[in-house]
């Protein structure tokens, strides 16, 4: 049979050819097609499944013996703390450049800008999308007229060990898709950027638009694969993800680098609005996901405990008495001399040998030894590995050499932390 037309609805083109319907086609019994089935408005398979014209499939229960997926079902998200759950440094921190609010997200700038970084709660977050926290950037010192070398970015940094799956610099290099929720006082064009720190800051940049002021919007940006420049597999800083917030002429006077290329500052932030030009401005971000492939999958929500453990590889607050009155235990300690007291901390393996981040001030710490309280101001880092640290107080200390005791906080804002940030 060559052709059979039933009105304008059904056309059979040959016994083994095409079945085309622009209307509704009903087949009772078996329908076997070795050619193409083209339906402009979708295909219904009984009541079980519908293949829509846009390619989406809705169905009931699927029974199969094998599923082969092109992307990981878990651990898809290369970003740590993308839902902004963990904030070890506290809910709020005033910075000119540095970390604060949500872990792993840093504000960086050149110029006059200063901000308060906050871990925004449910009232600041797109709760309806499953997020109860965000990184809130509150502009406290504006940069109304940015100099040529001025810039403002929010950044998160990835180490080499976690980037080998993208196969950058090989013939099998993969596309990367960045997705996130963002809300800003300032509308207009913004720039998202990937920077390869292994290969002379090789970078790629994509523009996106914030359309409505103070409204949560979901953004999806796909970056091309890069067959040039492999990323070293180690614990060092190898890939930066930057959200530009403002850029001087040194960064926006060229042509936007939408394909991977060598470091050219003029091509990094072309078209970027100045989102830091007023102390009334706020930028909020959450639901950050970077994954292999050209499709943004639903956000991978990890448990709080899992996210905390990942964050502690880079910043580990081992003792925190902030906001708590009275003495709080920190560690055991020993007087090595009458004027020096030492304690040792053990912790899960960090990215690198850390530095000490500790409260400084008058009589912040004390050692309780032999029924005597010995108060002193702070402690310093002496020795350490990626899993241990020895810290010592050698100023204002008065004890008995060889005696042990209990190291305690003596104020409400005392903490001890170790940093191995990228």
Percent of the chain surpassing pLDDT 70: 85
Q: If pLDDT is split at 50, 70 and 90, which confidence band does 169 have? A: very high
**What are the residue boundaries of the structural domains of the chain, listed by start?**
3-59, 92-311, 316-419
Instruction: Report whether 183 contacts 287 (CB < 8 A).
Output: no
pLDDT tens, 17-41? 555 555 555 555 556 666 666 766 7
Q: Give the pLDDT confidence score for residue 231 in this predicted structure.
A: 98
* Topology, domain 92-311: Jelly Rolls (2.60.120)
pTM for this model (two decimals)? 0.85
Q: Helix, strand, or coil here: 89? A: coil
Q: Give the pLDDT confidence score for residue 56 in this predicted structure.
A: 64
CA dist., res. 416 & res. 318, Å (int): 6
Q: What is the mean pLDDT of the chain?
A: 90
Q: If pLDDT is split at 50, 70 and 90, which confidence band does 320 have? A: confident
pLDDT tens, 217-238? 999 999 999 999 999 999 999 9
From residue 199, how far is each of 163, 230, 241, 266, 345 by CA, in Å?
Answer: 14, 8, 15, 18, 36
8 pLDDT more than 60: no
The region that residue 55 occupies, defined by phi over 0 for left and psi between -120 and 50 for alpha, beta otherwise, is left
387 pLDDT more than 60: yes
Q: Give the pLDDT confidence score for residue 23 in this predicted structure.
A: 56
CA dist., res. 383 & res. 343, Å (int): 11
194 pLDDT more than 90: yes
pLDDT tens, 354-372? 999 999 999 999 999 999 9
7 pLDDT more than 60: no
């Amino acid at each position: 049979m060559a052709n059979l037309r039933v009105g304008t609805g059904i056309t059979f083109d040959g016994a083994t050819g095409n079945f085309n319907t622009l209307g509704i086609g009903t087949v009772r019994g078996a329908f076997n097609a070795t050619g193409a089935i083209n339906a402009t408005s979708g295909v219904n398979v009984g009541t079980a499944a519908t293949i829509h014209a846009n390619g989406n499939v809705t169905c009931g229960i699927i029974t199969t013996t094998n599923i082969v997926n092109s992307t990981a079902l878990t651990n898809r998200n290369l970003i740590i703390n993308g839902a902004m759950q963990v904030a070890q440094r506290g809910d709020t921190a005033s910075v000119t450049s540095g970390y604060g609010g949500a872990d792993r997200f840093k504000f960086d700038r050149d110029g006059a800008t200063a901000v308060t970084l906050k871990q925004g709660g449910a009232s600041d977050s797109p709760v309806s999308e499953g997020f109860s926290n965000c990184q809130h950037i509150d502009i406290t010192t504006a940069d109304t007229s940015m100099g040529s070398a001025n810039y403002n970015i929010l950044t998160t940094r990835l180490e080499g060990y976690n980037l080998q799956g993208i196969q950058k610099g090989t013939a099998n290099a993969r596309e990367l898709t960045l997705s996130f929720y963002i809300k800003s006082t300032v509308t207009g064009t913004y720039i998202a950027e990937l920077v390869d720190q292994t290969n002379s800051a090789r970078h790629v940049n994509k523009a996106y638009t914030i359309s409505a002021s103070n409204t949560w919007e979901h953004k999806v940006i796909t970056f091309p694969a890069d067959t040039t420049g492999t990323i070293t597999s180690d614990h060092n800083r190898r890939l930066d993800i930057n959200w530009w917030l403002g850029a001087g002429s040194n960064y926006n006077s060229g042509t936007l680098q939408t394909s991977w290329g060598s470091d050219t500052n003029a091509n990094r932030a072309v078209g970027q609005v100045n989102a830091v030009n007023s102390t009334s401005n706020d930028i909020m971000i959450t639901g950050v996901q970077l994954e292999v492939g050209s499709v943004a999958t639903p956000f991978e929500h990890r448990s709080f405990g899992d996210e905390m453990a990942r964050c502690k590889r880079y910043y580990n607050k081992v003792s925190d008495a902030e906001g708590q009155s009275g003495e709080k235990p920190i560690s055991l300690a020993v007087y090595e001399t009458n004027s020096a007291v030492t304690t040792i901390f053990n912790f899960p393996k960090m990215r690198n040998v850390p530095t000490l981040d500790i409260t400084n001030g008058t009589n912040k710490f004390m050692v309780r030894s032999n029924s005597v309280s010995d108060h002193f101001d702070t402690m310093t880092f002496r020795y350490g590995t990626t899993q241990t640290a020895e810290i010592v107080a050698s100023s204002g200390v008065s004890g008995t050499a060889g005696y042990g005791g209990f190291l305690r906080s003596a104020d409400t804002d005392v903490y001890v932390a170790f940093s191995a940030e990228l």
